[in-house]
DNA sequence: ATAAGTTTTTAGTCTTATCTAAAAATAAAA
DNA sequence: TTTTATTTTTAGATAAGACTAAAAACTTAT
């Protein structure tokens, strides 16, 4: 039996391993989970015992095949619940994450596969992230940060890099959402802010915003 | 913050207090929760600290107003999830309880009130038990055990006293379900078994079965 | 009323998941 | 290549929840 805590660690390691493919550091995990490095070390030993991670002292950690399978399945559950909350229970996209953090740990395969069916096998969650199918397969399409676009380029908003409530609420207010076409009109060199155009509206966004928005190039 | 474990104890005390209105015994709680009396004592002290129960050593325990409110809300959540699993996710009535035991602990008022709406504000769960509304109100209708009926009497099946998988599977097999009309044809004095009639089928059920089926008299 | 039996509580231990503080290993600078 | 700084691990403590064994309190029965 795997505990809530173990599952959360596997998920965090999975996400970090995209950026650090030859070993995720103890500190990185601690920071993203709002815990202490010593707690992480303890957990890594336990996960290693259970053959869910490959871990050697001071060398960083990576998921085993088995660990990755569990992490991907957890992400599947999380994202399906997010879709459910948005589509069926009238939650907004900035509200879904918090509750999905709890729901994702419910242990029932039938539950999650039936939920998948109820939602008509969605491919993306409310933040534009792909939902793995029951075998763990999912397509990750090419997306780039808005901050990397040049002037005159256009893309479709496909996801966010930051899913914090504050950020999502800001996007709601500015009418920025998944599926919207965004054109870079002008880039301000001084502070990195960008003048963008969405549906005939032009306004400035800060660099901080631009580097948390994913676009698919046209 | 209330923990999963604390919630489970409150629920157990709530259910027992119907039978022991002047104090639920430590042993009764231990037995129904498959734990030990000493563990129960520890928890009663903690719940007492939190003003969720009135507890004095050796005197049994009862819920405070506040504790009862929490227990009833937990039961609301449990039963709404059971309806959801049956109606939306194709679970059978013998499968719903186990998963609902986990789902009931998810903490979000919006979640549960929206779920209530999605299900069209159901009044009964799959086992015939009443679902409290968001203010904790529910009607408990008069129901009697099949074992207490006399020969020739008829009633509508409205609930079960035992929700174990084994029992519910037996009922499925015998085509006994909520809403069915059941007539007592003959009562066998020797072993307490009863010959019943459901939709033109007659067959014997044991006394053990009869004392776990609730009927509403016609 | 006393003894025997039952229930409940206490005392002490274990596991899981945290934390702080200090030691050890690694990485960066001088 | 030493010294310094940073990262990581160990050691020891704490809190929640559960357990066993034994003591204490209540109930029955003689
Ligand atoms: Mn999320
Ligand atoms: Mn998401
Ligand atoms: Mn149930
Ligand atoms: Mn039920």
Q: A58 beta carbon < 7 A from strand C?
A: yes
Q: Extract the residue ranges of chain A whose pLDDT is less than 50.
A: none
Q: Is B3 on the interface with A (CB under 8 A)?
A: no
B88, B90, B99: residue with CB nearest A108? B99
pLDDT in tens, chain B (218 residues): 899 999 999 999 999 999 999 999 999 999 999 999 999 999 999 999 999 999 999 999 999 999 999 999 999 999 999 999 999 999 999 999 999 999 999 999 999 999 999 999 999 999 989 999 999 999 888 899 999 999 999 999 999 999 889 999 999 999 999 989 999 999 999 999 999 999 989 999 999 999 999 999 87
Nucleotide nearest to A37 (CA to C1'): D8
| Of the candidates A44, A5, A8, the residue with the CA atom closest to the CA atom of residue A26 | A44
Q: Is A4 on the interface with B (CB under 8 A)?
A: no
For residue B54, what pLDDT is reported? 98
Q: How far is the CA of A3 from the C1' of D11 (A)?
A: 25
In the 9-68 segment of chain B, residues within 7 Å (Cβ) of strand D are 34-36, 38-39, 42-43, 46, 58
Nucleotide nearest to A43 (CA to C1'): C17
| Of the candidates A133, A161, A116, the residue with the CA atom closest to the CA atom of residue A15 | A161
For residue B138, what pLDDT is reported? 96
CA distance A156 to A44: 39
Phi, psi of A103 (to 5 degrees): -60, -30
Per-residue model confidence as pLDDT tens digits over A162-182: 988 999 999 999 999 998 999
For residue B140, what pLDDT is reported? 84
B118 interaction partners in chain A (CB closer than 8 Å)? 88-89
> Residue B129 gets which letter from DSSP?
P
Total number of residues shown for chain B: 218
Nearest CA in chain A to B112: A89
Taking each helix axis from N to C end, the angle separating A4-17 and A37-49, rounded to the nearest 10 degrees, works out to 100
Count CB atoms within 10 A of the CB of residue A24.
Answer: 26
Ligand 1 centroid from CA B28, angstroms: 42
> Residue A131 gets which letter from DSSP?
P
The C-alpha of A1 sits at a distance from chain B's nearest C-alpha, in angstroms, of 15
For residue A141, what pLDDT is reported? 81
Buried b / exposed e along B5-19 (16+ C-beta atoms within 10 A): ebbbbbbbbbebbee
Q: The tokens 């449990």 sit on which residue? A: B78
Q: Report angle CA A214, A158, A183 to the nearest 5 degrees.
A: 70
Residues 51-110 of A with CB under 8 A from B: 85, 88-91, 95, 98-99, 102-103, 106-108, 110
CA distance A65 to B123: 46
At B9 the three-state DSSP class reads: helix
Nucleotide nearest to A39 (CA to C1'): C18
For residue B142, what pLDDT is reported? 86
A91, A99, A106: residue with CB nearest B102? A106
| Strand D nucleotides within 7 Å of a protein CB | 7-12, 16-22, 25-26
Q: Which of B89, B98, B113 to mutate to test the interface with A (most CBs of A within 10 A)?
A: B89
A137 contacts: CB under 8 Å, gap ≥ 6: none
Give A19's Cβ-side CA count (13 Å radius).
8
Q: How many Cβ contacts (< 8 angstroms) between chains A and B?
A: 41
Protein residues placing their CB within 5 Å of the ion ligand 3: B 97
Which region, left, alpha or beta, applies to residue A135 given φ > 0 means left and ψ of -120 to 50 means alpha? Answer: alpha
Nucleotide nearest to A9 (CA to C1'): C17
């Amino acid at each position: 039996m795997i505990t809530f805590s173990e599952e959360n660690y596997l998920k965090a390691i999975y996400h970090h391993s995209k950026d650090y493919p030859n070993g995720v550091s103890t500190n990185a995990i601690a920071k993203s989970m709002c815990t202490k490095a010593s707690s992480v070390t303890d957990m890594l030993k336990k996960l290693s015992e259970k053959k869910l991670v490959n871990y050697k002292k001071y060398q960083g950690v990576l998921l085993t095949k088995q660990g990755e399978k569990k992490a991907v399945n957890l992400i599947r559950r999380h994202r399906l619940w997010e879709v459910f909350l948005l589509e069926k229970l009238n939650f907004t996209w900035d509200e879904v994450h918090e509750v999905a953090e709890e729901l994702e740990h419910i242990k029932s395969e039938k539950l999650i596969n039936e939920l998948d069916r109820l939602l008509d096998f969605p491919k993306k969650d409310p933040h534009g992230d792909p939902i793995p199918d029951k075998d763990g397969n999912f397509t990750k399409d090419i997306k780039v940060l808005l901050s990397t676009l040049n002037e005159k380029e256009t893309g479709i908003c496909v996801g966010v890099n930051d899913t914090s409530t504050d950020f999502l609420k800001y996007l709601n207010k500015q009418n920025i959402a998944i599926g919207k076409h965004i054109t870079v009109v002008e880039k301000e060199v001084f502070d990195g802010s960008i003048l963008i155009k969405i549906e005939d509206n032009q306004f400035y966004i800060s660099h901080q915003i631009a580097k948390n928005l994913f676009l698919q190039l046209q």
